[in-house]
Amino acid sequence: MESAGAGEERPRGHRFVLVHGVCHGAWSWYRVATALRSAGHRVDALDMAACGARPGRAEEVGSFQEYSRPLLDALGALPPGEKAVLVGHSYGGQSLALAMQAHPDRVAVAVFASAAMPAAGKPLKFVSEQFAQERGPGFFMDSVIETTGGDDLERACKTFLLGPEYMAQRLYQLSPAEDLTLATMLVRPSRRFVDDAVMNGEEVLTAERYGAVSRVYVVAEEDASWSPEFQRRMASWNPGAEVRGLQGADHMPMFSKPRELSDLLVEIADKYTNR
């Protein structure tokens, strides 16, 4: 990550750290990253473990902490006194929460863009448990859940891969056709951390650390995956969270409304930086 040397002027603009959703990678931010960099900001779009262009397979990722390690390391490597604007999408909100807990002093504001927003004092899996009550049978359509490891319970794990029909109808229904095509070519299986200690721990996220970081929820108003109402419900679990609506955005606002999302991110960064 970029840093200013002794006697050098610190670079202008905000530093944005972008975290993708399940089965996706840093590539999903290419439109937003381009817009932010063109406006003079520094952008780090990260691949989580075994995602995007990062090597490895989903079943080799031993824990959710390991999955989120690229984000945790990126925040830990920031120069002293510098803070980042974290932006998480979908499942990436879980990694954002872990990073906020680990490095609350390194985050100017965390932006959850149609993202999982956990509650302090509750397990990370609380989000998926609540969402399970909203969706009906067959919700994930042609998406594939597999168990690897056979009869070896110690090594068995479940992976999840988004199906093309599910993506077309529930995630990308308002996004450009070429971006849906790109996504169907690049998505990779992600591990489901069902029995993970971090996912199940009630003391992982605390009000004193995770809860102390400024956060904004960006509601994708045309989301056909989790509803705008559910997105607002997640925000309500976090006292003090600001809620902003993004009209015309499906579950992938970085594709369906990239310019509007980029402008909103800069507006949020301007508001919360150097508070």
Active site residues: 90, 223, 251
Contacts of 132 (CB under 8 A, 6+ apart): none
Contacts of 228 (CB under 8 A, 6+ apart): 219, 220, 221, 245
Whole-number Å distance between alpha carbons of 139 and 189: 18
Whole-number Å distance between alpha carbons of 254 and 221: 13
Pull the structure tokens for residue 274: 């150097």
Whole-number Å distance between alpha carbons of 19 and 28: 9
Whole-number Å distance between alpha carbons of 43 and 64: 24
